[in-house]
Amino acid sequence: MQSQNISDIIEKYLKSILADAEHVEIRRSEIADLFNVVPSQINYVIKTRFTIQNGYLVESKRGGGGYIRIEKVNLLDDADVLDTLIQVIGDSITQRDAYAVVQSLYEDGVLNRREAQLILVATDRNTLGVDDHDLENSLRARIIIGILNHLRYES
Amino acid sequence: MQSQNISDIIEKYLKSILADAEHVEIRRSEIADLFNVVPSQINYVIKTRFTIQNGYLVESKRGGGGYIRIEKVNLLDDADVLDTLIQVIGDSITQRDAYAVVQSLYEDGVLNRREAQLILVATDRNTLGVDDHDLENSLRARIIIGILNHLRYES
DNA sequence: ATAATGAAAGTCAATATTAGTCAAAGATTA
DNA sequence: TAATCTTTGACTAATATTGACTTTCATTAT
């Protein structure tokens, strides 16, 4: 029942490789063939599911012998993680990216499950309930950054 | 057995699945077809019969491979206390009153210190940073109510 | 060296595929 | 009869898929 769309399946496939390895390196057309989609769909999957907010770094090369390489990075490795995250968020963030950020913080133990849920609820589209999207995204950014800044003084 | 309208029948159908399973995941148009109703009637059924007050959590996704997923959750004992608070808050709350609400939840052991702090930061005037006071107060109300609704069940 | 060629990946907008909203019309109940 | 609940459908929004066109890079030919 789960993940009926191909993008989700490709995402899972790539993540299953990343579960065992430091990074994946693919040939775009090969993966596209494997799942019977057009090559640009691979870009779509990467763009929507392997963002820096999700903790992934992507690099690629065109031309002969080209590739796409996805690496899982630990955003919390270096001392000023919070600064990094705050920069990444900027003054606006979509719900999807916010989910990714909070997920990363949870995976890295900065937040426990309950706290992560609270933040997601507080920044949920329906919770905020504003019709202006720019306002919604900027509110979400302010709330998350406010919380991140608070976490800094707590620990 | 009064009034077996279609909404009731659809409700029973979904609940019968939930009797055996953790959750139901449907394709809206399929269920609509199955019962010969327009798709939006499924939304009506969900909105009127699968509320969080009744212990149901609903999530969905649009686009290819989209779905609606209904999950039955365990309501906690605090549920009616939270209901009362939600009523009191209504659609607007000042920062001062919000502080009092969060404080009492902390004293009642519903929230720990860290969680209480998170909520206060998220709803702080400076965090929200909107000029319009009415908007600020209504946003604060929405955020706190969203969180209270989340606290009704265990995740 | 330089130019031409081909083999990748990137971009972007059109289209397709779902679900959500809202208000009007109809039905039922108090 | 008035109030409430249900049904319907037109319109909106989010997400996914596709393909034409562009850019980059390596290799081969001049």
pLDDT tens, residue by residue, A83-120 = 888 988 999 999 999 999 999 999 888 999 999 999 99
Residue A28, pLDDT above cutoff 80: yes
Per-residue confidence band for B80, with pLDDT thresholds at 50, 70 and 90: confident
Does residue A114 sit at the B interface (CB-CB below 8 Å)?
yes
Top pLDDT among A57 and B80 is at A57
Does residue B142 sit at the A interface (CB-CB below 8 Å)?
yes
Q: Which fold has domain B79-151?
A: 1.10.1200
- Find and give the residue nearest to C12, measured CA to C1': A40
Within chain A, all domains assigned CATH 3.30.56.130 are found at: 6-72
Q: What are the chain B neighbours of A96 within 8 Å (beta carbons)?
A: none
Which one of A143, A144, A149, A155 makes the best mutation probe of the B interface by having the most chain B beta carbons within 10 Å?
A: A143
DSSP structure string for chain B: -----HHHHHHHHHHHHHHHSSEEEE-HHHHHHHHT--HHHHHHHHHHHS-TTTTEEEEEE-STT-EEEEEE--B-TTHHHHHHHHHHHTT---HHHHHHHHHHHHHTTSS-HHHHHHHHHHT-HHHH--S-HHHHHHHHHHHHHHHHHHHTB--
Determine, for residues B146 and A121 on separate chains, whether the beta-carbon distance falls below 8 Å.
yes
Quote the tokens at residue B71.
């999950």
Does residue A147 sit at the B interface (CB-CB below 8 Å)?
yes
pLDDT at B1: 46
Averaged pLDDT of chain A: 92
Residues B70, B23: contact at Cβ < 8 Å? yes
Within chain B, all domains assigned CATH 1.10.1200.150 are found at: 79-151
pLDDT at A88: 87
Does residue B122 sit at the A interface (CB-CB below 8 Å)?
yes
- Residues B88-107 have pLDDT tens digits of 999 999 999 999 999 999 99
**Percentage of residues in chain B having pLDDT higher than 90:** 92
Residue A52, pLDDT above cutoff 50: yes
Determine, for residues A147 and B121 on separate chains, whether the beta-carbon distance falls below 8 Å.
yes
Per-residue confidence band for A23, with pLDDT thresholds at 50, 70 and 90: very high
Per-residue confidence band for B61, with pLDDT thresholds at 50, 70 and 90: very high
**For domain B6-72, which architecture applies?**
2-Layer Sandwich (3.30)
Determine, for residues A118 and B119 on separate chains, whether the beta-carbon distance falls below 8 Å.
yes
Residue B111, pLDDT above cutoff 70: yes
pLDDT at B11: 98
Residue B2, pLDDT above cutoff 80: no
Residue A13, burial from CB neighbour count under 10 angstroms (0-12, 13-18, 19+): middle
Does residue A131 sit at the B interface (CB-CB below 8 Å)?
no
Nucleotide nearest to A47 (CA to C1'): C10
Residue A137, pLDDT above cutoff 90: yes
Residue B5, pLDDT above cutoff 60: yes
Which one of A121, A125, A153 makes the best mutation probe of the B interface by having the most chain B beta carbons within 10 Å?
A: A121
Averaged pLDDT of chain B: 95
The mean pLDDT of B77-86, rounded to a whole number, is 90
Does residue B78 sit at the A interface (CB-CB below 8 Å)?
no
Determine, for residues A143 and B122 on separate chains, whether the beta-carbon distance falls below 8 Å.
yes
Determine, for residues A119 and B118 on separate chains, whether the beta-carbon distance falls below 8 Å.
yes
Strand D: which positions are within 7 A of a protein CB? 6-10, 13-20, 23-27
pLDDT at B52: 93
Within chain A, all domains assigned CATH 1.10.1200.150 are found at: 81-154
Residue A130, pLDDT above cutoff 90: yes
pLDDT at A108: 85
Sheet holding B67-72, edge to edge: B23-26, B67-72, B56-61
The mean pLDDT of B13-24, rounded to a whole number, is 96
Which of the listed CATH numbers 3.90.1150.10, 3.40.50.11540, 1.10.1200.150, 3.40.1160.10 matches domain A81-154? 1.10.1200.150
Residue B154, pLDDT above cutoff 70: yes
